[in-house]
Amino acid sequence: MNYNIALLKGDGIGPEIVESAVAVLDAVGQKFGHTFAYEEYLAGGCALDEAGEPLPQATIEGCKTADSVLLGAVGGPKWDSLPGDKRPECALLGLRLELGLFSNLRPVKLYPALVGVSPLRADIVEAGFDILIVRELTGGIYFGKRGRQASKNNESEGNEAKNNESEGNEAKNNEGEIAFDTESYSTAEIERIAHVAFAAARTRSKRVTSVDKANVLESSRLWREVVHRVGEEYPDIELLDMLVDNAAMQLIRNPAQFDVILTSNMFGDILSDEASQLTGSIGLLPSASLGATSKGLYEPIHGSAPDIAGQGLANPLATILSAAMMLRYSFGLAAEADCVEAAVEEVLEAGCRTADLAGVGETNTEPLSTAAMTKEVLKCL
């Protein structure tokens, strides 16, 4: 089969790590008889420099016509002083909206060879853990109504209505400026992300933990109701509710209890960064952003790492694993994805380490460069 992939190399280490993933995809193509064709587009700081905007129309069109999108990372100090709507990171939000990517999948797995890299005690993590965080990506507080208003002596209507439910509001002092952000979810938004989580659980250990704040937030109460309704369609999947504060604690106390974590945009943002650290290096973790079609946006969870850009020091494994997710979720090539993931596990077992992992576990080499680590993965493939 032929597959068209839009490549957004972006900034900093982006070009180096995308090059590694492309080499791996090409090797998979050779081994399994597929052709991957690539078209490069600008996104982020490099797009600002060359086209005057972080997400040029040509990039949006190119991503829409491609079968899938592989992104390195965007941003860097050169563009840090730009106003919010001109920053390289706007490209990410724009792409999610333009491509209708409402779910974000982040596998968080501790490789046995890297138990020593986790900040948690060995007795907590030595049995390993393998979590899939399913985060809603285009709703909630990041997209709700927000603003500022001048000081008011009286509470707003909404707050008055809730006063007898919340002691905190009685003590609220409204002097000075007021700023607000709104968390809101519709039934349809919750339903579609819940289906993603339950369907994913079917291919794993068949457990979904839905994380919310239903003891306080009305939006969370709707979240919980709808998730349970959707859950009835998946009687083979065990569903558990957990409040977000407890989930933050449980991730540290006993990460192995989780299989699929289903949660909202903001809670997912925070919990997935927390969980990522349990595996040690940010250079290992891939992600997929998916919508209603098979097209997805695949990227490592880390940023553009300007401090190590251009030096061949970047760990390419997160981007290589993102390419494996593309094979699995966009192209339905599960055996090919398994093969890439097994190759990554094998190089780690063999003691290959980039600088971010140097000194962890049974290493048998000096830290490897980006290119040398990629070569090891290719050898295993």
Contact positions vs ligand NAD (CB under 6 A) = 13, 73-76, 89, 92, 282-283, 299, 302-308, 314-315, 318, 356
Q: Are 108 and 114 in contact (CB under 8 A)?
A: no
Catalytic site includes residue 142: yes
CB of 232 to ligand NAD, least distance (A): 36
Question: What stretch of H or E contains 277?
Answer: helix 265-277
DSSP element (H, E) containing 131: strand 130-136
Contact of 17 with 319, CB cutoff 8 Å: yes
Q: Which is nearer to ligand NAD, 76 or 296 (CB)?
A: 76
Q: Which of 80, 245, 307, 338 is catalytic?
A: 245
Tell me how far apart the alpha carbons of residues 58 and 321 are, in angstroms, rounded to a whole number.
27
| Distance of closest approach, residue 79 Cβ to ligand NAD, in angstroms | 7
80 is catalytic: no
3-class DSSP state for residue 231?
helix
3-state SS, residue 147? strand
213 tagged catalytic: yes
Nearer to ligand NAD, 231 or 296 (CB): 296
The nearest distance, CB 116 to ligand NAD, in angstroms, is 17
Considering the complex, state which of residue 201 and residue 284 has its C-beta at the smaller distance from ligand NAD: 284
Whole-number minimum distance, CB 340 to ligand NAD, in Å? 17
Burial class for 257, CB neighbours closer than 10 Å (0-12, 13-18, 19+): middle
**Closer to ligand NAD by Cβ: residue 16 or 212:** 16
Nearer to ligand NAD (CB atom), residue 104 or residue 219? 104
Question: Which residue in 269, 295, 298, 329 is the catalytic one?
Answer: 269
- The helix (run of H) or strand (run of E) holding residue 297 is strand 296-300
Residue type, 312: G
| Residue whose token pair is 């809670």 | 267
Active-site pick, 49, 80, 181, 273: 273
Which residue, 105, 5, 13, 9, is CA-closest to 370? 13
Determine which one of 3, 9, 185, 213 is catalytic: 213
Q: Where do we find the tokens 């968390």?
A: 183
Cα–Cα distance measured from residue 327 to residue 321, given in angstroms and rounded to the nearest whole number: 10
Tokens at 100, concatenated: 């209708």
Q: Which is nearer to ligand NAD, 226 or 318 (CB)?
A: 318
Q: How far is the CB of 62 from ligand NAD (least distance, A)?
A: 18
Closest distance between ligand NAD and the C-beta of residue 295, in Å?
18
- What gap in Å lies between CA 259 and CA 131, rounded to an integer? 5
Residues recognised as catalytic: 142, 213, 245, 269, 273
